[in-house]
Amino acid sequence: MAETRMLEEELEFVKALAIEAATLALERAGNVTPVEKANRSFVTDLDRDLEQLIRGRLKAKYPGDRITGEEYAAEGGTGPRRWSIDPIDGTGNMVHGLPLWAISIGLLDEGEPVLGVIAVPPLGELYWAVKGRGAWLDGERLVAEDSGSIHPQDNICVGTNAMRTLDVRTIPGRLRDLGSACCEQVFVAANRLKACVFLGEAAHDVAAGSVIVGEAGCRFARLGGEVLTPSEMVGRTPVPAPTFIAPPLRLEALVRDARLLPPRGDA
């Protein structure tokens, strides 16, 4: 009971923090300065400032916890809990004015994702979940709809890295790439997408989202059928092989039929 009360308290704190960060992000998103990182992805002054804001609030509130994020080195305590921050997931979208980017704050306890909050500022949406307590969008419970088949008009999101590895002819439905792993995960939970496929995503991309999609009824599996727990999904990052997120029946159908592209030069 004490643990449940603690997570409820922390959930409210992190929801308020995500809303604060989202408000600041919206004020500044139209006037950011992008630079290329070593991997040629964009980072902006807003990414860095938001991560520092979130880190500062978490350090002051939970000084014994470890804090990690996309833009700065790990810091904080040495206890069993770790916060994982993605200040702007979908920076490229934001830089180009595409309104699909998110702020993500996840909590892991001894490696297990237990709390996740994701704000999508351009849409004014806030998603959250605590392990065992369901997934929510602005106070409305999220339950991912399941089916043993994929309709030709179902939206299936395949990330860029996965799309360059998979034979997309073996993926049914209408294929999308939204450019934000956090948006993709919460949209699966909200039934805007029926599934998403990742490859190469880091821990901060999936720490919060894994709690939300998991609590909405989704599961995780690699190409070839290996089923992953949320802890394995986050712990085995960067995601080393095409990994599907969907409700159980759809997940089974996707993993069963998906194939890799043949090696170059093969017929």
Numbered residues of the known binding site for Mg(2+): 70, 86, 88-89, 205
Residues 6 or more apart whose Cβ sits within 8 Å of residue 3: none
Annotated binding site: 70, 86, 88-89, 205
Burial of 218 (0-12, 13-18, 19+ CB in 10 A): buried
CB 110 within 8 A of CB 103: no
Distance CA 163, CA 176 (A): 10
Task: Provide φ and ψ at 132, rounded to 5°.
Answer: 80, 0
Residue with tokens 């014994």: 64
Alpha helices in the chain (DSSP H): 2-28, 45-61, 91-95, 160-163, 181-189, 203-215, 230-235, 248-257
Residue with tokens 């996740």: 116
Q: How far are the Cα atoms of 60, 161, 182, 256 from residue 113, in angstroms, in the given order? A: 21, 24, 15, 27
Amino acid at residue number 149: S
Q: Could you tell me whether strands 102-109 and 81-89 are parallel, antiparallel, or unpaired per DSSP bridges?
A: antiparallel
Q: Structure tokens of 247?
A: 């409700």
Peptide bond into 87 cis (omega under 30): no
